């Protein structure tokens, strides 16, 4: 009994030291991680809207039309005073858990582009949604996320119909298509109300 108590006390000390170490590392890196995340977001926004020079935060102004789609940060994209479109960070359920995308919607009601920001789907299958080397149309060198650019938000966005699905990853394909459709519909409605 004495040995068990001694071992338990030693284990508790190691666990406490590990917790303190993790807390110190977290506190020391959280600002750097937040800055890096913001820089990555700015690069993604600029990729979706290369002509833009103003990215105004409008988070909370656009509501999700689906209960399973959660909208995060939202941006009004402008060139000077001209509204080029909006961008919405949207999350929803996928095969491996939540998947998060950044959807750009042009003022003309077409998708400017899609960036897969976070996912937990299976490597080699659902993870191909974010891969720049996985093509749904090899001849045209069209990636899965690249196929959304230029699509009108009024399209159905149905995997295996107007959206080419990732081979053996229908759930991921449907999840991304659903996020893009919800974001596109909501963004177009918001832009229609402010113009």
Per-residue pLDDT 10s for the chain (195 aa) are 788 888 889 999 999 999 998 888 888 888 998 888 888 888 999 999 999 999 999 999 999 999 999 999 999 999 999 999 999 999 999 999 999 999 999 999 999 999 999 999 988 888 999 999 999 999 999 999 999 999 999 999 999 999 999 999 999 999 999 999 999 999 999 999 875
Structure tokens at 30: 């959280």
Q: Do residues 42 and 135 both lie within one domain?
A: no
> Same domain for 22 and 74?
no
Domain boundary among 11, 33, 48: 48
Domain match, 161 and 150 both:
yes
Q: Are residues 101 and 145 in the same domain?
A: yes
Calpha distance 118→98 (Å, rounded): 8
Question: What are 113's strand-pairing partners?
Answer: 104
Regarding whether 31 and 73 lie in a shared domain, the answer is no
| pLDDT on residue 3 | 86
Alpha helices in the chain (DSSP H): 2-48, 170-194
Instruction: Using CB atoms within 10 Å of the CB of residue 63, give its burial: 0 to 12 exposed, 13 to 18 middle, 19+ buried.
Output: exposed
Q: Are residues 58 and 40 in the same domain?
A: no
State how many domains the chain has. 2
Residues 13 and 87 in one domain: no
Residue 163, pLDDT score: 96
The strand ranges marked E within 41-194 are 54-57, 70-79, 82-94, 97-106, 111-118, 135-137, 142-143
* Shared domain check, 69 and 13: no
* CA–CA distance, 78 with 109 (Å, rounded to integer): 15
Residue 6's domain comprises: 1-48
Do both 124 and 177 map to the same domain? yes
pLDDT attached to residue 110: 98
Q: CB–CB of 11/47 below 8 Å?
A: no
pLDDT for 37: 82
The pLDDT of residue 195: 58
**Do 168 and 110 share a structural domain?**
yes
Residues 43 and 71 in one domain: no
The answer on 81 and 27 residing in a single domain is no
């Amino acid at each position: 009994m004495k040995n068990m108590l001694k071992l338990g006390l030693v284990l508790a000390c190691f666990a406490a030291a590990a917790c303190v170490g993790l807390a110190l590392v977290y506190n020391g890196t959280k600002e750097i991680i937040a800055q890096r995340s913001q820089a990555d977001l700015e690069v993604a926004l600029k990729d979706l809207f290369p002509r833009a020079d103003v990215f105004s935060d409008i988070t909370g102004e656009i509501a999700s039309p689906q209960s399973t789609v959660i909208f995060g940060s939202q941006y009004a994209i402008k060139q000077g005073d001209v509204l080029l479109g909006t961008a919405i960070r949207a999350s929803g359920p996928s095969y491996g858990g939540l998947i998060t995308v950044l959807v750009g919607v042009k003022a003309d009601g077409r998708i400017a582009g899609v960036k897969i920001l976070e996912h937990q789907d299976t490597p080699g299958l659902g993870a191909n949604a974010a891969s720049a080397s996985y093509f749904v149309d090899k001849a045209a060198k069209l990636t899965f996320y690249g196929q959304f650019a230029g699509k009108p938000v009024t399209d159905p966005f149905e995997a295996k119909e107007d959206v080419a699905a990732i081979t053996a990853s229908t759930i991921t394909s449907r999840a991304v298509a659903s996020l893009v459709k919800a974001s596109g519909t909501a963004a177009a409605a918001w832009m229609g109300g402010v113009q």
